[in-house]
Structure 1
Amino acid sequence: MLLDGQLVTRTKAGTDIEFISPIGLVGEMGVITDEPRSADFVGITESMGLEITKDALVQLFFDDANICRKILLNLVKNLSNKLYDTNGEIEKFLAQQQE
């Protein structure tokens, strides 16, 4: 989680795809899927973040069901927003290809 500063999500090809502001999540898909990152995060300004490891997250889920529900709901909302945005980008790309 980004606490302070600005980050950009950059693909392996060097394309900037998302700007991240404080309280933004980064790396959440990798924590859930155990897959390697599909992009890198680059600091635009001096930044500070909070790292929550998968082991710590799983332990928290076992220790506090209420927090578990809140975190999972927030994660689903975050990933849903990213999917919605990605779908919009795909639609724009396809429309440009048909021109």
Structure 2
Amino acid sequence: MSDTFDPQMPVQERAAHLLVTPGALVQLSLPDAREVVRYMQPRRIDADTTIFRAGDATDVDYMMLVIDGDVTVESQASPTSEGLVVTVLGPGSLIGEMGLIDGSPRSATCVAATDLSAGRLSREALARLMQEQPGVAARLLLAISKRLSDHLREANRKLMTFTQVSRALQQELDAAHAINRRLLEPKGRSGH
């Protein structure tokens, strides 16, 4: 893969190589990736541009492959709170793949941390790919499904860890509360 970052490589070929990296769809073959890239639209996005916002329900039916630059992914606890940067994604990363599949509101806010080059795959382009090259489309959808499944398994693992930590903290609080109750209990009532 050393040629992935060759500056002489045409952008479509570079995008195809990036599409089959662990940050994107490692299960996809390079020939399939080349076909998928043909259905993508190139995008240039200026630094500090919000690509999409958590909860946004408009223009949600696409995913993007980061070709050059970095994207921050932010999560918000509430609509009025400031976003918390969850991760920074670079070349070879996908954003918005859930929107491509289900068209639901965005689950996170993505902001171009630097000037960005990306490939955009819309649901309309995916439908054309499905009609014109059903085998490639099926393998693409399986690779996206695998990626989403991996994310879900990781989220479940984190949730289990959080649950265990929360349970341990609750036990500590219960023990401290019991000690405080005994310390504050009147002396005359303790023997009766």
Percent of aligned positions that are identical: 28
- The answer to whether the 8 Å contact 1:12/1:38 transfers is no
Specify the code of the residue in structure 2 equivalent to 1:85: E
1:43 correspondence with 2:112: yes
1:11 correspondence with 2:80: no
Q: Which runs of 4+ in 1 moved over 4 A?
A: none
Provide the TM-score with structure 1 as the length reference: 0.86
* Cα distance, 1:12 vs structure 2: 3.0
* Cα distance, 1:19 vs structure 2: 3.2
* Secondary structure of the structure 2 residue equivalent to 1:52: strand
* Cα distance, 1:46 vs structure 2: 3.1
Could you say which residue in structure 1 is the equivalent of 2:132?
63
Question: 1:6 & 1:89 partners in 2: Cα distance?
Answer: 25
Please, which runs of 5 or more residues in structure 1 have no aligned partner? none
Q: Which has the larger Rg? A: 2
What are the superposed Cα offsets for residues 11-51 of structure 1, whole Å, 9 maximum, x if unpaired?
A: 23312333323222111111211111011112333322111
Specify the code of the residue in structure 2 equivalent to 1:74: A
